[in-house]
A = this chain, B = another copy of it.
Amino acid sequence: MAVHEVLAAVLQVRAGSLQVLLWQRALAPDAGRWSLPGGKLRPDEDVETSIRRQLAEKVDVRQLTHVEQLAVFSAPDRVPGARVVATAFLGLVPCDVDPALPEDTAWHPVEALPETAFDHDVIVPRARDRLRAKLSYTNLGFALAGPEFTVSTLRELYSAALGYKVSATNLQRVLSRRGLLEPTGSTAPPGPSGGRPAALFRFTARGLQVTDPFAVFRPPAHNRPARSARWP
């Protein structure tokens, strides 16, 4: 008989850094502090439906390219008053959209969070770490990028999300070898200072796919499929 709420750390790469969407509480408890968007779970919806509805309603974020569960936060005293159990989500918004936001809502760099309400400061790093891990072994980059992009752009997205410089050279090679990237055939015009025009690419799939499931302990070669469609 506990209230169940859903919360989302919605992440987007903005201005070269990974940022999270927060709204500032006007009322107690924790008035003035910043809070993850979300709200109560309704009786007729599951948690993912609920967080998608609440994000659409409250902060007008509809262009989520990826949503996944992070964890349940259930310490009995995690919020003051009656107990609330929370299911936390990671949400991703591609870099080519800029949703209209209510007055009290703003993006904040993940590495420089303001004072947050309740246990929300624990949830944001969890979301960031999940994103970083999945960028390495899945095609999750599609959720940060727009439909078409240059390798330079993609490099900036990966660098911002991972927190360190990624080489464009090797990024393109790794993603191409895995079959995640394909050229569109067209090119982007060069900038004002010249330079060779960049080829445009897109992700071959836009749903989450695990491309490198095993760091080690791969199954023996004779009953393992070829590179393109890996186990399992």
Q: In the complex the two chains form, is B74's CB within 8 Å of A87's CB? A: yes
Q: Kindly identify, within residues 161 to 178 of chain A, every residue whose CB is under 8 Å from any CB belonging to chain B.
A: 162, 164-166, 171, 174
**A3 interface residue, CB < 8 Å from B?**
yes
Contact digits for A199-232, partner B, Cβ 8 Å, 1 yes 0 no = 0000000000000111111011001000000001
Closest residue of chain B to A217, judged by CB? B136
Q: In the complex the two chains form, is A216's CB within 8 Å of B69's CB? A: no
Write out the residue numbers on chain B whose beta carbons fall within 8 Å of the beta carbon of A215: 136-137, 212, 215
**A34 interface residue, CB < 8 Å from B?**
no
Binds B, one of A18-26, A39-47, A91-99, A103-111: A39-47
**A66 interface residue, CB < 8 Å from B?**
no
Write out the residue numbers on chain B whose beta carbons fall within 8 Å of the beta carbon of A14: none
**A56 interface residue, CB < 8 Å from B?**
no
CB distance from A72 to the nearest CB of B (A): 5
Write out the residue numbers on chain B whose beta carbons fall within 8 Å of the beta carbon of A87: 72, 74
Number of copies: 2
Q: In the complex the two chains form, is A164's CB within 8 Å of B69's CB? A: no
In the complex, A83→B4 CA distance in Å?
Answer: 12
Closest residue of chain B to A46, judged by CB? B74
Contact digits for A145-184, partner B, Cβ 8 Å, 1 yes 0 no = 0000000000000100010111000010010000000000
Write out the residue numbers on chain B whose beta carbons fall within 8 Å of the beta carbon of A71: 69
A-B complex: 4 closest residue pairs judged by Cβ atoms: A46-B74, A212-B215, A137-B215, A47-B74
Binding site for B on A (CB under 8 A): 1-4, 41, 43-47, 69, 71-72, 74-76, 83, 85, 87, 129, 133, 135-137, 158, 162, 164-166, 171, 174, 212-217, 219-220, 223, 232
